Structures are given as C-alpha cells and as structure tokens.
C-alpha cells in the first residue's frame, strides 16, 4: 500500500515533469472519450430506452410504420399501422391474447388545444393533446401522481368529460398547484375536468420533442378530435390511431400476428373501398406486423436511427484514432526513458518494480484523461441535444451520460493506457541494459518504430474516411438547403392558429377570415396577408386521388394522387408561386362562385402529358360523379411543399371556402385554415406579439401555436441533416487534429532521437533545406501510405452513406480530392514543425551529445 | 591559408559568462600538420569547431584563403566549409543505417554532383583507403580502427584543403591509432592541411607544429616565431 502511494506520487511527478506529453495525452483521451460518451448517451436515450412503465417487455405494437395522421383507403403496401376506431374495437374484442389493447391518436398536433383554466382570467394558451382509449394507462400499468388516471368508464359517449394532465405540464404551466386536480378547464371552449396527473417520468407512448400536455378519452373525439369540427370516430374509412397492447404471458407473436391479419381482413372485407373491383389483391395482402413496444411508438427512433448509428460509428472511429494517439504517446515516452530504465536496472532495480512503476503512470494518465472525458461528455451531451432537437420544449431525454456509458468509456481509456503502458515497460525491462547504455552512436534498432508508424498510418487512413464522410454530408446538406424550392423567403413570416379550437362554425369562417386579413393588413409595414391550410415545407400534406372529366375512370393502381390546399388570394405572391398561365385565386372566388382550382406545373406534367390544355379542364376527387366539380383556371410555378428530397408533387390549389358539389360533407374540414403568412416591408419590431395581439383582439381563443420566419421554417426541415453534417464535420476535424498530433509526436520523437545523426549530416555539409526535406519526407511518407490505404477504404465505406446523400455521388472526386489535400496539408504542417526544429540543430551541440 | 585574429568564444550559463577561447591569434599555412594539445576543458574542441565553421557564436576575425569568414552568414560559411573542409570525429559518427559506401557518399550527396561522378568518386576513395571489400558492410560490422578509416575516407572524398580531426584516435588502441596517423601523414604529404586535437604525444609527433591551449589561451606554439614574422610582414 505504501509502495503504491509512493508509486503514484512518483508518477505524478513524472507527469508534471513532461507537461507537453501529459496535456496532449489527457486532451486526446478527453476528446475521444467525451465525444463517444456524448454520442452514446444520445443513442442510448433515443434508440435504446424503454418507456418508464411496468414490464415494458410485454408491450407489443400493432403496426410498424411511421405514418400520420389521418388516412383514407388501403394502407401503404397493405401493411396496417393506422387504424380506424371501429377497427380498433373490433380487434380489441376479437383478440383475447391481449390482456389490454389500447388505442392512441397517431398525430399529436402542435397546439391542437386552446386551453384556459375556467377560473383564470389570463389569455388561453395553445397546448398539445393526445386522444387515447380508456384503458391506455392500464396497458402501461401506470399509477397517477395525483388524482386518478383515465379508465374505460371515462371513454364512453355521455360520460362526464375528464382528462389527464401530464406532470411536466402541471409543473411548467401550473407550478404543481394541487387545486388543478378536480378543477375545470376549457379545452377548445369545451369544459372538462382534470381528473389527475401522470407520474413524473411518463412522457407518453413515444419519444418526441413535443409530448402531449393532456390525455383525452377517445369518446370526446367529436369535440376535441383531430378532425374537429367534423368527426371521424365512427368512420371506418378513416384511419388515425395507433395500437399498443400488453400481451398475456406465453403468447407467441408470429401466430398472433397471423391471427390478427385474418381478423383485419375480415373487417376490411365489409368496407365499400374493398368491395370495388380491383381491390381483391389489396384485401388479400392486407396484414399487420407486430413489433415490441417496450420503447413505445418508435417513430423518432426510425427517423433518427440511421443518422445516429452513423454518428456512433464515426465517433467510434475517432475513439480509435484517439487510442492510437495515446498508444503512440505512451510508446514514445517509454522508449525515450529507456536509458533511464536501463540505468535503474544496471543499478539493481527489479523488473517487476519497474513495470509496476510504468503501469502506475499510464493508469494514472488514463484516469486523468477519463476524468477530463467526463467533463467533455457532460458538456457534449448538452450541446448535442440542443443541436439535435433545437425546438424541443420537453424532450424526455436526460442530458447526463448514464453510468453504463461512462463506465464503458472510462474502461476503454484504462485499457488503452494499460496495454500501451505494458508494451514499452515489457520491451524495456527485457532489453540488455548494456545495449541501451551504449549510447546513440550505435543506436540499437528502434523496435517500436514500426509500431508507431503503423499507428500513424492507421490514423491517417481513418481520418481520410471521416473527412470524406464529413465532406459528403456537408455537400449533401448544402445541396438540400441550396436547392431551388421555388419560394421567396425574405420578409415572410408564418403563424399557425386554429379557428376550430376557438369553436368557429363553418358559417362564421368567411367573416373571421375577412377580419383577420383586414386587421393584419392594418398593421404598419405589413404588405401582404394570406390564409391557407398549410404552408410550404412545414411538414404537412393533404392529398387526394383525382378524376378528370372526359376521361376513363382510373383503374386501381393508376397514379392519380395530387396534393392540395386551400389558400387566400395573396398566398401565391407571398410564397413565391408565379402565375404562368390563366389566373391565380382572386377575391371573386367566393363560397358561392363557380368552384375553381389553380394547378402547378407538376400537375400539368403529370396529368396533361398529352399536350391538352389544362385551362378549362374539369376534375373532381369523389369518384366519376364528381369530375365536373372543379374547373382549372390557372397554372402556377412549382414550389416544394413536402419532401425536400423528392421532385415537386402535382398540386392543386383551391379558394378557402368553395365547396365541392359532390360529397360536400367531406369538403368542410379543409375550410379551417391553420396558417397565416405575412409579407412585410423591411423588418418590423415585435411582429410576433403584434400578430398574437391582433388575433386575441378578434377572439381570445385564437391562439398562435407556432410562429416563425418562412426562412426559419424551411431551415427546420433540415435539422437532422444539419446535425449529422455538423457532427461528422466536427468529428472529421477532431480526427484530423488527433492524427496530426500523432504524426507530429512521432516525427518530433524521431527528430529528437536522430539529433546526433542530423548533427553529423550538417557537419558533413547538409544544409537546412536538405534536413527539412529529409524529415518532411519521412512524415509525408507515413501520411502518404495512410492515404493510399484510406482512399480505397473510403471508396468502399461511402457506399454505406449513399442513401443519406442528396445530389452527391458517394464517389465524389471533389470531396475525396479535397479531403486528401487537407490531410496532406495537415501532415505537412505536422511534419514541418519538427523538421524546422531539426534544421536548426546546432551541430556543435548535437555532436557533444555523445 | 587561415588567419585568426582575436577570436573569442564564451558560453553564458545563467548570469556567468565562461570564456573558452581568449584572444586567439593563429595563422595556418598550407601543407601544415598542426596538433592542438592541452588539458581537458582547455577549449581545443571549441577552437576546432570555429575552424570547421560549425560554430557561429565567436567574435573576432577569421580569414580563410583571403575570404573574410567573420563577414559571412551561415549559408555562406556552410558553403565554404562544404567545399574546403573535411571533418573526422573521435566517435567516428558513421550513420548506422547506411553502408560504408553510402556513408562515404554522404558529403557528396549534399553537393550538386552528377550521380555517375559521385559513384566513381566513391569507388576511387574506397580504393585509395583500401576498404573496397568492406563497402557493403554496415558500421557495426567493422572494428573501431576500420570505422575511423571510413570516417577519414568520408572526410576526404571531396578532397578538402583542410582536414580537421578532434581526437581521431581517442577510442582506438595504439596499433590502430598508429595506422590512422600514418594515413594522416600520407594525406598531409599529398597536400592536405591537417589540424588535429590529441592528448597523445606519440600522435603529436606525426605533425609539424604543436599548439598548446590552456584555459582558452594559446599557451605555446612551436611555430611562434613564424607567426610573429607573418605579423611583422603584415604591418
Ligand atoms: N555548450 C556548452 N555550454 C557551456 N559550456 C560549454 C559548452 N561546450 C563547452 N563548454 C565549456 O567550454 C570549455 C571548453 O570545452 P571544450 O569542449 O572546447 O574542451 P576540450 O579542450 O575539447 O576538452 P576535452 O579534452 O575534454 O575534449 C569547457 O570548460 C566546457 O565546459
Ligand atoms: Mg574536446
């Protein structure tokens, strides 16, 4: 024990005596470990975490896709993930293998609830809700933090309206006020009672940066549902809920899956959609996939998984480079101290004692590096989370690395220290002391030299891979962001609101829209105002299958889909659509005038490829009886609305309040605008609060749920790509720095070792230039071999990121060439410093070193 | 050939300045074979380093064949030394990774000499020093005397006018030392000016003139009067 303390003290003194080595080693470890712990924390929290519920292993999700929000018709690829409420109750009652099967709303809307506590005089807030079946909390086995949770008795028509508030909301907005439980709230102007508070850790059934504030029984769908003011609760042709169930112990998933498929087909077969000709195959192929739901609905996991896994691999490579660096540093140091060790051994020191001393030092170093790594990990996780979820309000992810993560990273650094501490200790203590003592004139062959060089070569190769990866990601992001969306963004703003939450009836909309447009126009500096169902690049999309007048009925499988939205006259100008032919939407397109549509170029290309004139053509969306519903009066330029990686979809635009002749009841929900766009002259101070005030003046229940610049909204589409591009760039840079430090270290060490030789060369006539060239040649040779290995490896690796790239070939020669140049430049810089030091060797001194 | 006037050299260690060469005046004429002697620490190596133009920190005047070395910059000195001076070291300083032939070729590799010419020069030198048979061996495969022979061959390959040797036989047995000295004498007779440092009276006997250094001062010089005459002539 005493010996150990003595060893530690001595080791500390040794480390203090070589501050350059110590600091480099600790920094390298800190960055390597910290970056990895941070990434792994994110991966762990997002991809591997179970819901904080009872026995999550027994939870099973019916369906495996990320689909949203309300779907009509057959499921995509006949794989059912979204269900109608009636289909849910059918499955629930027909499948006894589930102890409980719960239903939950697929799309949790932003600000879907205009919320006010009934005895509170402040303005209503915009909060989020999720509709759930009455047994929702029983499936998860949760107990309330306060009051009670929902039960099946709450979820029947006519039951007293009771909702559950989330703990986070209770804490954030109501200061944990106990009187909230049992009090009345006005949700979208409907009075409900808050019956209880969820347990604190519970963040809903899925990982999201915007978890629900209220859990509302499905029975209240007609008042508070996603289709309000219409209802879809009992429409079997509207799929809008997810299913999670708790299976009974011993249930075999494959057979249950097959059984559920059968029950599903039995239900679908009765629906009119599936009785149409040509749907037989769809029906026969309809099925469900059961997946474990311990982590809940894994939409976010599916969306971010690929990127996170990529980052994980990247950071692991960085750790590898860092370990190579540590190995090199420790090796260099061990070798540099050979003479000292030899003298000690010649003086009778025991081999065991010497090895222990060296090990103490490297373990100590690892520990110090590990500690510094903790700091980096904590800070890094926070930074990462902010980068990954910039708009998150209540992200259910802790920004603290778990002990497992830390232990893993710490252990790794310890291992590196041990292995590479033992190697030189072993080599040294087994060398003949006389040999090492004989001096540098007969420099013994440097056994560790090749190992060091291989490590540097490995580092260079890995760095190249990372740099190329970073380059590809950056280029892809800039392609994505830099593409022509067809929009104009300067001085444009987007505000979201919902008249249906403020309980507006359909016949009140005209005057509401007029009033909003008028009042916002009256704000100084506001040039244009539009209302629309949604806006470009906000992630929303409505689409329908269209049928044309004078053409045959489309067959099942024909591509007849078109996206659409309703908008007010100034919308096209604000967004940046140019009217190319005919006209846009005007003030004259009122509820009572002839229903018209304006289409985009992609629509013309898709449906008028025969060269026929689209202007004057008629189409409808409710079968062949509807083909005369809308008349095309204009064509506008393409703007990307939805998927930034795909071509612009065929789109048509309709006035806000015109109703289709056919099935008008299906054409009312869309009359509720949810987006306001503004175009201003120059920048206006505090436009947001002016907009909020203007709406509140019209009706206090008109809350703004989201407000952003148009530019900011578009930027938000690339958050994940940006995160990955930035992180790979960061890691690429880190790898470059580490590899450069490695190369520098090895070169500097080699120069130090060769000082007498360099002195001789200079005494024999070598000038500065030739010495610099000699040292640089060696450094660049290692980098060169690294590149020679790295280029083909990179060539192979880029195939795995190809799917994440946009507009970039995996084998992008510019990126590859750039990365090679950067690496060569870094190697040159790393070699130049020791080379210059070598060139300024004083031959007199060098020759005296004997 | 060489004219040193008031050459001084000191080392600053901390606040104290230690003088290792003090007002050294020295004239070296072509064909001379000078031996520098003196106790350890007297400044012999320091003087040799000045003559070899490896050292730049001295003060005073230094003319080499009429060229003023004290007015030259590092590059000019290095160029001059590369052309006119050869160095032999006590511990040989052969490069371990290079063969005998490659070691000998080293000084040529720092000059602009065509490859073919270099090869023939190396061959000639190997021949002249009778080490052709050893040309592909590495230094550690040679005896000390053989290594020093290679060291001299390396110093002589570009036929310098001045050969400087700092204790060339310091690591050798007397028999080997004698061979080296014979070689020096032969080179001197062929026209090379030689300045050697040695502690051995026997070695000194090969030379034509002995200079003794003590505490950085020239204590005695067997050619003292010549020096003075030269000074008088100069006036
Ligand atoms: N780099 C240096 N820094 C400080 N003092 C030095 C340095 N080099 C030499 N000296 C001092 O200069 C003096 C002369 O050294 P020098 O090497 O010229 O002696 P020498 O006559 O060659 O001795 P020896 O016979 O032992 O080789 C010595 O006192 C030595 O300590
Ligand atoms: Mg000496």
Residue bearing tokens 């104009």: A488
Candidates A111, A93, A46, A24; CA nearest to A745 is A24
A719-753 vs A351-388: helix crossing angle, rounded to 10: 150
Q: How far apart are CA A333 and CA A336, in angstroms?
A: 5
Which of B55, B93, B140 lies closest to A844 in CB terms? B55
What is the nearest CA distance from B114 to chain A, expressed in angstroms? 17
CA–CA min distance B235, chain A (Å): 35
B219's enclosing H/E stretch is: strand B217-221
Angle between helices A299-336 and A338-346 (to 10 degrees): 50
Query: Which domain range does residue B115 map to?
Result: 2-234
CB of B16 shorter than 6 A to ligand 1: no
pLDDT per residue as tens digits for the range A196-216: 999 998 988 988 777 899 999
- Best residue among B13, B45, B199 to mutate for probing ligand 1's pocket (most ligand atoms within 8 Å of CB) is B45
Rounded to an integer, what distance in angstroms lies between the CA atom of residue A214 and that of residue A197?
A: 9
Range list of H helices, A95-140: 136-140
> Would you call B78 and A757 a contact, using CB atoms and an 8 Å cutoff?
no
Residues A411 and A473 in one domain: no
* Intra-chain end-to-end CA distance of chain B, in Å: 18
B52–chain A Cβ distance below 8 A for any pair: yes
In this structure, are A245 and A329 located in the same domain?
no
CB pair distance less than 8 Å for B91 and A441: yes
A623 in the same domain as A504: yes
Q: Within this chain, do residues A119 and A226 fall inside the same structural domain, yes or no?
A: yes
Under an 8 A CB cutoff, do A763 and B87 touch?
yes
**Block residue for tokens 């189409």:** A619
Measure the CA–CA gap between A750 and A335, rounded to whole angstroms: 11
Residue B64 touches partner A, C-beta closer than 8 Å: no
Q: Which whole-number Å values give the CA distances from A535 to A34, A637, B105, in the listed order?
A: 41, 15, 79
| Contact residues for A716 (Cβ-Cβ < 8 A; gap 6+) | A390, A391, A708
The CA distance from A347 to A291, in Å, is 69
Whether residues A767 and B91 touch (CB distance < 8 A) is answered with: no
Return d(Cα A661, Cα A672) in angstroms, integer: 18
Are the Cβ atoms of B91 and A850 closer than 8 angstroms? yes
φ and ψ of B58, to 5 deg: -90, 165
Edge to edge, the sheet with strand B2-13 lists B16-28, B2-13, B59-64, B67-68
List CB contacts of A83: < 8 A, sequence separation 6 or more: A62, A63, A91, A103, A239, A240, A241, A242, A243
B96 contacts on A by Cβ (under 8 Å): 442-443
CB A276 within 8 A of CB A770: no
Distance CA A33, CA B69 (A): 57
pLDDT, tens digit, for every residue of A628-662?
A: 999 999 999 999 998 788 889 899 999 999 999 99
The closest residue, in CA terms, to atom 28 on ligand 1 is: B41
Residue at which a domain ends, from A296, A311, A339: A296
Q: Please give the span between the terminal C-alpha atoms of chain A, in angstroms, as a whole number.
A: 41
The response to whether residue B13 sits with its C-beta less than 6 Å from ligand 1 reads yes
Average pLDDT for A105-122? 78
Evaluate whether A105 touches A88 at the Cβ level (below 8 Å): no
Please state, rounded to an integer, the average pLDDT across all residues of chain B. Answer: 88
Task: Note whether A491 and A838 are within 8 A (CB).
Answer: no
Nearest to A382 by CA among A399, A406, A403: A399
* pLDDT tens track for A123-151: 888 888 999 999 999 999 999 999 999 99
C-alpha neighbours within 13 Å on the C-beta side of residue A44: 17
Ligand (nearest to CA of B211): 1
Question: A111 pLDDT exceeds 70?
Answer: no
Q: Would you tell me how many other CB atoms lie within 10 Å of the CB of residue B18?
A: 11
Q: Which position has the higher pLDDT, A76 or B233?
A: A76
DSSP per residue over B144-175, as a string?
Answer: HHHHHHHHHHHHHTT--SEEEEESTTTTS-HH
Contacts of A756 in chain B (CB under 8 A): 93
pLDDT tens digits for range A776-795: 998 999 999 999 999 999 88
Task: Report residue B174's pLDDT band, with 50, 70 and 90 as the boundaries.
Answer: confident
> Which tens digit of pLDDT belongs to each residue from B104-132?
998 888 888 888 999 999 999 999 888 99
The ipTM (two decimal places) reads 0.81
**From CA A405, how far away is CA A368, in angstroms rounded?**
17
Residue A301 reports pLDDT greater than 60: yes
A221 plus A80 within the same structural domain: yes
pLDDT in tens, A704-722: 988 999 999 998 888 778 8
| CB distance A504 to A510 below 8 Å | no
Tell me which chain A residues have a C-beta less than 8 angstroms from the C-beta of B73: none
B21 lines ligand 1 (CB under 6 A): no
Residue B90 near ligand 1, beta carbon < 6 Å? no
Q: Whose CA is nearest to atom 24 of ligand 1?
A: B40
Number of compact structural domains in chain A: 4
User: Per the domain annotation, does A73 fall within a domain?
Assistant: yes
**A548-603 pLDDT per residue, tens:** 999 988 887 788 889 999 999 999 999 999 999 999 999 999 999 999 999 999 99
Residue A109: per-residue pLDDT: 62
pLDDT of residue A339: 66
Strands laid side by side in the A492-496 sheet:
A526-532, A675-680, A492-496, A706-709
**Phi, psi values for residue B78, rounded to 5°:** -60, -40
The H-or-E segment that residue B23 falls in is: strand B16-28
Dist. CA A749–CA A758, nearest whole Å:
13
Domain count, chain B: 1
- Binned at pLDDT 50, 70 and 90, residue B48 comes out as very high
Asked if A765 and B78 come within 8 Å (Cβ–Cβ), the reply is: yes
* Residue A674 and residue A764 in one domain: no
A93-102, A200-209, B219-228: the lowest-pLDDT one: B219-228
Domain membership of residue A710 (yes or no) is: no
Chain B residues closer than 8 Å to A777 by CB: none
pLDDT score, position B231? 41
| Whether the predicted model's global pTM rises above the 0.90 cut | no
Report the alpha-carbon distance of residue A80 to residue A241 in Å, rounded: 11
- Residue A424: predicted pLDDT: 66
Domain that holds residue A648: 498-704
Q: Kindly identify which residue of chain A lies nearest to residue B164, measuring between CA atoms.
A: A763
pLDDT at B159 over 70: yes
Q: Which residues contact B143 (CB under 8 A, 6 or more apart)?
A: B176
Rounded-to-integer distance, Cα A603 and Cα A597, Å: 11
Closest CA of chain B from A823, distance in Å:
30
A62 and A44 both lie in a single domain: no
Q: How far apart are CA B61 and CA A834, in angstroms?
A: 34
| Distance from C-alpha of A458 to C-alpha of A441, rounded to nearest angstrom | 31
pLDDT (average), residues A261-281? 87
Structural contact between residues A337 and A753, judged by C-beta atoms closer than 8 angstroms: no
pLDDT digits (tens, 9 = 90+) for A799-823: 877 877 888 887 888 999 999 999 9
Ligand positioned closest to the Cα atom of B41? 1
Domain assignment of residue A241, yes or no:
yes
pLDDT digits (tens, 9 = 90+) for A656-689: 999 999 999 888 889 999 999 999 998 888 999 9
Residue A714 lies in a domain: no
Could you say which of B91, B95, B107 has the minimum Cβ distance to residue A757? B95
Reply yes or no: is the peptide bond before residue A69 cis, omega within 30 of 0: yes
* Ligand 1 atom closest to residue B48's alpha carbon, by position in its atom list: 18
Selection from A369, A412, A381 nearest residue A727 by Cα:
A381
Interchain pair A844, B49: CB under 8 A: yes
Break chain A down into helix, strand, coil percent, rounded to 5. 50, 15, 35
pLDDT score, position A444: 40
Distance from CA of A351 to the nearest CA of B (A): 29
Task: For A754, name the nearest residue in chain B, comparing CA atoms only.
Answer: B95
| Under 8 Å between Cβ of B7 and B50 | yes
Does one domain contain both A247 and A376? no
CATH of the domain at B177: 3.40.50.300
Q: What is the mean pLDDT of chain A?
A: 86
Closest CA of chain A from B104, distance in Å: 10
Residues A361 and A225 in one domain: no
Phi, psi of A640 (to 5 degrees): -80, 125
- Residue B180 alpha carbon to ligand 1 centre in Å: 25
| Residue B189 token pair | 């007779």
Residues A263 and A362 in one domain: no
Cα B18 to averaged position of ligand 2 atoms, centre (Å): 16
How far away, in angstroms, is A759 Cα from ligand 2 center?
A: 16
Which residues on chain B are in Cβ contact (under 8 Å) with A761?
95, 106, 110
> Is a pLDDT exceeding 90 seen at residue B24?
yes
| Ligand 1 atom closest to residue B38's alpha carbon, by position in its atom list | 21
Angle at the Cα of A422 (from A420 to A425), degrees rounded to 5? 115
> What is the rounded average pLDDT of the residues A73-97?
89
Nearest CA, atom 16, ligand 1: B43
pLDDT in the model for residue A523: 94
Vertex A409: Cα angle to A408 and A414 (nearest 5): 95
The token duo for A785 is 């071999």
Mean pLDDT over A501-526 rounds to 93
- From A704, A729, A757, the end of a domain falls on A704
Q: Is residue A489 part of a domain?
A: no
Q: Which residues have a Cβ under 8 Å from the Cβ of A271 and sit 6 or more positions away? A: A236, A237
> Chain A residues with CB-CB distance to B under 8 A?
441-443, 756-757, 759-767, 770, 843-844, 847, 850
Diameter of chain A measured on Cα atoms: 107
Q: Are residues A311 and A210 in the same domain?
A: no
Residue of A nearest to B48 (CA): A844
Cα gap A463→A298, rounded to integer Å? 33
Asked if residue A637 lies in contact with residue A485, where contact means CB atoms within 8 angstroms, the answer is no
Alpha-carbon dihedral A24, A29, A35, A36, rounded to 10 degrees? 160
- SS3 for A186? strand
CB contact under 8 A, A763 and B95: no
In this structure, is residue A711 part of a structural domain? no
Residue A391, pLDDT score: 66
pLDDT mean over B52-60:
90
Residue A441's pLDDT band (boundaries 50, 70, 90)? Answer: very low
Mutate to test the pocket of ligand 1, among B9, B20, B38, B58 (most ligand atoms within 8 A of CB): B20
CA-CA distance, A288 to B91, in Å (whole number)?
85
Q: What is the pLDDT of residue B92?
A: 84
Residue A336 in this model has a pLDDT that exceeds 80? no
- Identify the pLDDT of residue A245: 94
Q: What is the mean pLDDT of residues A410-427?
A: 74
| Residue A24 domain flag | yes
Q: Find out whether the peptide bond into A19 is cis, omega within 30 degrees of 0.
A: no
Asked if residue A121 and residue A84 are part of one domain, the reply reads: yes
* pLDDT band for position A346 (cuts 50, 70, 90): low
Q: Is the pLDDT of residue A433 over 80?
A: no
- A427 pLDDT band, cuts 50/70/90, is low
A491: in domain: no
């Amino acid at each position: 024990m005493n010996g150990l303390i003595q060893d530690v003290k001595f080791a500390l003194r040794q480390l203090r005596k070589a501050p350059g080595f110590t600091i480099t080693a600790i920094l390298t470890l800190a960055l390597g470990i910290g970056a990895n712990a941070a990434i792994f924390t994110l991966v762990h929290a997002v991809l591997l975490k179970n819901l904080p519920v009872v026995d999550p292993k027994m939870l099973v999700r019916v369906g495996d896709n990320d689909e949203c929000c309300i779907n009509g018709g057959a499921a995509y690829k006949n794989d059912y993930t979204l269900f109608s409420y009636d289909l849910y109750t059918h499955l629930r009652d027909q499948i006894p293998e589930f102890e409980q099967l719960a239903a939950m709303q697929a799309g949790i809307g932003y600000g879907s609830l205009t919320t006010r506590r009934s005895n509170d005089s402040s303005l209503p807030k915009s909060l989020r809700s999720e509709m759930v079946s009455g047994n929702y909390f029983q499936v998860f086995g949760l107990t309330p933090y306060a009051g009670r949770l929902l039960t099946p008795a709450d979820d029947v028509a006519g039951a007293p309206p009771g909702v559950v508030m989330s703990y986070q909301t209770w804490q954030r907005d109501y200061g944990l006020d106990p009187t909230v439980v049992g009090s009345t709230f006005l949700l979208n102007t409907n009075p409900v009672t808050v019956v209880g508070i969820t347990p604190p850790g519970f963040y809903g059934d899925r990982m999201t940066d915007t978890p629900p504030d209220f859990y509302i029984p499905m029975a209240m769908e007609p008042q508070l549902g996603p289709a309000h003011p219409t209802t879809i609760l009992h429409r079997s042709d509207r799929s809008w809920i997810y299913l999670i169930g708790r299976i009974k112990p011993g249930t075999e998933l494959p057979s249950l899956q097959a059984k559920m498929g059968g029950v599903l087909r039995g239900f679908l077969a009765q629906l009119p959609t599936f009785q149409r000709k040509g749907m037989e195959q769809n029906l026969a192929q309809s099925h469900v996939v059961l997946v474990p739901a311990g982590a809940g609905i894994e939409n976010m996991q599916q969306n971010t998984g690929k990127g996170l896994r990529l980052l994980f691999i990247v950071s692991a490579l960085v750790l590898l480079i860092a370990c190579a660096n540590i190995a090199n540093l420790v090796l260099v140091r061990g070798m540099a101290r050979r003479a000292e060790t030899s003298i000690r051994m010649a003086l009778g020191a025991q081999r065991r004692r010497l090895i222990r001393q060296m090990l103490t030092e490297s373990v100590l170093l690892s520990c110090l590096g590990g500690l510094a790594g903790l700091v980096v990990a904590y800070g890094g996780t926070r930074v990462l989370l902010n980068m990954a979820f910039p708009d998150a309000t209540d992200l259910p992810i802790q920004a603290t690395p778990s002990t497992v993560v830390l232990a893993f990273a710490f252990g790794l650094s310890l291992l590196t220290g041990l292995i590479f501490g033992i190697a030189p200790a072993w080599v040294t203590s087994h060398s003949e002391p006389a040999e090492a003592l004989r001096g540098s004139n007969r420099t013994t062959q440097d056994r560790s030299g090749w190992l060091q060089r291989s490590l540097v070569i490995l580092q260079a190769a890995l760095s190249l891979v990372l740099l190329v990866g970073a380059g590809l990601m950056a280029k892809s992001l800039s392609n994505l962001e830099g593409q022509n969306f067809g929009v104009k963004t300067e001085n444009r703003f987007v505000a979201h609101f919902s008249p249906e939450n403020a309980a507006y009836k359909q016949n009140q909309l005209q005057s509401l829209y007029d009033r909003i447009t008028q009042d916002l126009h009256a704000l100084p500096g506001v040039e244009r105002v539009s209302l629309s169902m949604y806006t470009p690049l906000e992630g929303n999309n409505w689409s329908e299958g269209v049928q044309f007048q004078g053409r045959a009925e489309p067959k099942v499988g024909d591509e007849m889909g078109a996206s659409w939205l309703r908008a007010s006259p100034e919308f096209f100008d604000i967004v940046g659509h140019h009217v190319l032919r005919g006209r846009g939407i005007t003030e004259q397109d009122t509820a009572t005038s002839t229903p018209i549509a304006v289409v985009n170029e992609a629509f013309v290309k898709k449906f008028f490829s025969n060269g026929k004139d689209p202007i004057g053509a008629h189409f409808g969306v409710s079968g062949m009886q509807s083909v005369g519903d809308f008349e095309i009066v204009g064509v506008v330029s393409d703007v990307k609305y939805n998927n930034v990686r795909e071509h612009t979809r065929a789109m048509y635009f309709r006035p806000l309040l015109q109703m289709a002749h056919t099935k008008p009841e299906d054409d009312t929900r869309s009359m509720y605008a949810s987006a306001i766009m503004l175009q201003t002259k120059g920048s206006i101070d505090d436009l947001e609060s002016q907009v909020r005030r203007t709406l509140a003046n019209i009706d206090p229940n008109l809350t703004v749920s989201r407000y952003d610049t148009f530019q900011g909204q578009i930027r938000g589409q690339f958050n994940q790509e940006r995160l990955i591009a930035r992180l790979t760039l960061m890691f690429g840079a880190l790898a470059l720095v580490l590899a450069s430090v490695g190369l520098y270290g090895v070169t500097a060490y080699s120069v130090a070792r060769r000082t007498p030789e360099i002195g001789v060369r200079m005494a024999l006539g070598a000038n500065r230039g030739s010495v610099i060239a000699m040292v640089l040649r060696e450094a660049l040779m290692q980098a060169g071999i690294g590149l020679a290995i790295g280029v083909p490896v990179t060539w192979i690796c880029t195939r795995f990121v190809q799917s994440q790239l946009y507009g970039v070939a995996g084998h992008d020669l510019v990126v590859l060439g750039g990365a090679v140049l950067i690496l060569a430049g870094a190697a040159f810089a790393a070699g130049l410093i020791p080379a210059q030091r070598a060139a300024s060797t004083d031959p007199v001194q060098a020759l005296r070193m004997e | 050939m060489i004219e040193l006037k008031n050459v001084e050299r000191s080392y600053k260690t901390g606040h104290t300045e230690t003088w290792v060469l003090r007002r050294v005046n020295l004239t070296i004429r072509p064909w001379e074979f000078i031996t520098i002697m003196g106790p350890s620490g007297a400044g012999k190596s320091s003087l040799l380093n000045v003559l070899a133009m490896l050292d730049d920190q001295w003060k005073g005047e230094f003319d080499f064949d009429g060229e003023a070395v004290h007015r030259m910059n590092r590059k000019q000195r290095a160029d001059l030394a590369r052309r006119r001076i050869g160095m032999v070291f006590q511990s040989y300083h052969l490069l371990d990774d290079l063969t005998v032939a490659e070691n000998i070729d080293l000084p040529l590799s720092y000059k602009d000499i065509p490859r073919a010419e270099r090869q023939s020069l190396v061959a000639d030198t190997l021949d002249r020093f009778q080490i052709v048979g050893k040309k592909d061996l590495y230094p550690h495969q040679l005896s000390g005397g053989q290594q020093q022979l290679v060291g001299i061959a390396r110093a002589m390959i570009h036929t310098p006018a001045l050969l400087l040797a700092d204790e060339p036989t310091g690591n050798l047995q007397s028999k080997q030392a004698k061979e080296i000295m014979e070689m020096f004498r032969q080179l001197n007779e062929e026209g090379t000016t030689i300045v050697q440092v040695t502690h051995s009276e026997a070695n000194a006997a090969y030379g034509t003139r002995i200079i003794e250094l003590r505490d950085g001062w020239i204590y005695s010089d067997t050619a003292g009067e010549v020096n003075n005459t030269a000074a008088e002539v100069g006036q």
